[in-house]
Amino acid sequence: MMLENKVIIITGASGGIGSALANLVIQKGAIPILTDITKNKLEKLGESLTKKTRREILHIEHDVTSPQSWEVLMDLVNKKYGRIDILVNNAGVVQPGAAEVISLEKVNQQVSVNFLGTIYGCRAALSFMKKQNFGKIINVASLGGIIPMSGEAVYSATKFAIRGYSLSLYAELFSSPIEISVVCPDSVDTPFLDYELLYDESALSFIGKPMTTQYVAKYILKAVRTKKPEILVPLGMGIISRIVMIYPKFFFLFFPVLKKIGNRNIKNRRKEKE
C-alpha cells in the first residue's frame, strides 16, 4: 500500500513510538491524525509537525478507553476527510510490580488502555471501514505477548490478549477487503522503558539492547504494506520467542538465566543514567 495522501489515525501519538511513526508517515506523504489523552504533549507534537511540514496536522485529545470518544473521533475524521485508510492502535501503559502489590487502579488502567482500548478502536474502525469497503488496522502488541513477563504480569496479559484478538480478527476478516495485522516489538527505548527502569521487577524488559522508536516505526509501516497477520520486531528474537513457547517448560528452563541478565542490565543502565 502506497502511503501518499492516506488518512492514518495514530493513537498514543505523543509517546515515543507514536511520535516516531507520525514523523515517518508524514515523510511518506500520508495524512496523520494524531490522538492522545495527554493534551499538552499532543499539542506540542502537533504544533511542531505543523511548523515542520507547513501544513495543518490534525491532533485530537482522545481517550481510547471510552467508546464515546471513539465515536467522536471517527465522526470528526469522516467530516474532514470522508475516509479512514489506516488505524494504528498504539496507545499503551505499563505498571511493573508484584501481582498482589500493584493497585487495582493500575491493574484496571492497563487492561482498559491496552486491551479494551484496542477492542474499542477496532470496533469503531471496522464499522467505518466496512461501509467504505476498505481499510487497514494495525494493533501494537509486544514480544511480551508471546513470552510471559514476571513482575509485569498484567501488562504481559494485555499484550497476549491483543495478539489473540488481532489474530482472531484476521481470521474473521479473512475474505474481507479490510486487513488487520499485529506488531510485536521487543523492548523499545521510550519514556515507558525509563519508568520500568525504576522497578527491579522489570528485569525481563532489559534482557537485550532496547530498539529505537524509529526502528519500530519502520516495522509498523511494513505491517501496513504487507498482508502478514503478525510482524515480529526484531524477527530473530520473535522466532526464538515463538519456539521456546511451544512448550512453556523450555522457557522456564532458561528463566533464571534471563532474569539474571536482565537484573545486570538494569544495574548498568541505572549507572549510565546517573
Per annotation, catalytic residue among 120, 155, 165, 219: 155
Full strand arrangement of the beta sheet holding 86-89: 58-61, 31-36, 7-10, 86-89, 135-140, 178-185, 230-233
Distances (CA, A) of 170 to 10, 91, 182: 20, 20, 9
Question: If phi over 0 gives left and psi between -120 and 50 gives alpha, with beta otherwise, what is residue 246?
Answer: alpha
Residues 6+ apart with CB under 8 A from 201: 96, 97, 98, 150, 151, 152
Distances (CA, A) of 230 to 133, 138, 143, 223, 242: 22, 10, 11, 8, 12
Three-point CA angle 16, 22, 23, nearest 5°:
95
Instruction: Of 156, 34, 32, give the one whose Cα is nearest residue 94.
Output: 156
Residues 6+ apart with CB under 8 A from 172: none
Catalytic (active site) residue 155: yes
The residues annotated with a catalytic role in the active site are 155
